[in-house]
Structure 1
Amino acid sequence: MIRIISILVGAFFSLALLWSFGNGAASFIKEPPAATAEALFHQHPKHYSFSSDSAFGTFDKQQLQRGFKVYKEVCAACHALKQVAFRDLKAIGYNDDEVKAVAKGFQIPVYNPATGEVNTRDGLPTDHFPPVVYAGQGNPPDLSLITKARHGGAAYVASLLTGYAEQEGYKNEKGQELLKLFPDAKTPDGLYFNPYFANLNIAMPAPIASDDQVTYTDGTKATVDQMAQDVSAFLTWTAEPKLDKRKQTGWAVLGFLLFATTLAYMAYRNIWAGKKGH
């Protein structure tokens, strides 16, 4: 009796679930949701190829150093890297003296419990990048993990940095013009139109606005696109500084598992070869 009741209850809930799904699907077909400016004009990240992307890919240390230069000279005024210590920069090719010089260029807040005051001192290699006190509107995000926190990762960051556009006359891939379809979608004062941002309007003005905004010491031409890719690669490293080591370990583990599986199969065939059918 209990089994019959359980079957009936399960059947009831299954039918209720199917009815709810069918009713929702029918409603969606009859009255599809109205198109929004975000749905029609938000762009997916551009296709970028970074040296660390593939399973065998590794970081390009020269690119990481260029990216750090862009971060330091362009982004650091508004965005912190609180998860990164200055001494971590040795992993991308800086020596001890260079790391000390970088750290000294930052002021580290120090709280004095006796007076309640916050003073500052020069940074040390063991310090993390200090928080940024931003005087403008909004709260710029910390960039330590930004490529892990955004769909598209480094490609999203690079696309966003190079994606600022004039909203007037802007068309999507289907040729639809934004302000003709959505006159009320005009970017408010104080915001900037960027189709790669989720709601199309972002509070951050274009940080990389022109070529040669920074000077690369390795002779690389500092175009807007190059600087965007370099700082995106650097932020990939800040989010996953052990990526190269993880890939190396992963391949070693896969090799061991393949060897162990082959050995186990051969042992199985050897042990049971003459015993099948008994």
Structure 2
Amino acid sequence: MKLNIVPARTGLVWVKLGIQAFLKQPLALTGLFFMYMAGVLVLSQLPLVGSLLGAMLVPAATLGLMAATAEAAGGRFPMPSVLISAFRAGRQRARAMLVLGAIYTVGSMLATLLATALVADSNPPLAADAQGTPLDARSLVALLLHTPLVILFWHSPALVHWHGVAPVKSLFFSAVACFRNLGAMLTYGATWLAVFFLVGSAFSMLGMAMGGAAVARSVMMPTVLLLVAMFSTSMYFTFRDSFRADDLPDAQATPGEESTQ
């Protein structure tokens, strides 16, 4: 396995490739994303263990969406079974993915508990998320404290599944890849923020022109979900170009590769 060091402009390419892959199979990829969201919603309704199970399955679900993108990018139709790819690659890798899920769950709980301890719940909302839901100071601090988890788990599910890397080792390699390709990752994130802002603003104004705030909100909801589905599609390309192995689907060489072994 080799780590590819890519130029900052590659972040733009990742966004472009994600959108192109999504447009190759828009119905399939949208449907798979909504299946994932529906699954999380159903699990969250279970008493006591619902939220824990949802968090446990985040790495596996991330891998499933990346595998679906690999199928679409290769000109194939991603079937619903691709969402459980993490559990179809043998007992050892399925167990490793569950270990990743357990680590993610513990980390997420710690971040949430720390945010609760640091910020009182009496503060008024400071902002709103992409769907207009108010975010108070505690929620914003919790999101900030989840940032290290995002870095650690950005590549780790794919490393475990496609490269057979041990769970803890995959977290280390994921963080190294994100920091070594920081310019590309920042460009990637900034580009997606711009896409969300520009498309969201355009559809919001269209909704306002068609019938006011209520129509704008009804238009924004599916728009944001489609953009999130496109974003999740582009994640596969950040992994594909950050690591190289002969058995990786659609593997392509990127200049400046450096061994992680």
Tell me whether the two structures share a fold, i.e. TM-score over 0.5: no
TM-score scaled by structure 2?
0.22
TM-score scaled by structure 1?
0.21
Greater Cα radius of gyration, structure 1 or 2:
1
Which one has more relative contact order, counting CA pairs under 8 Å at least 6 apart?
Answer: 2
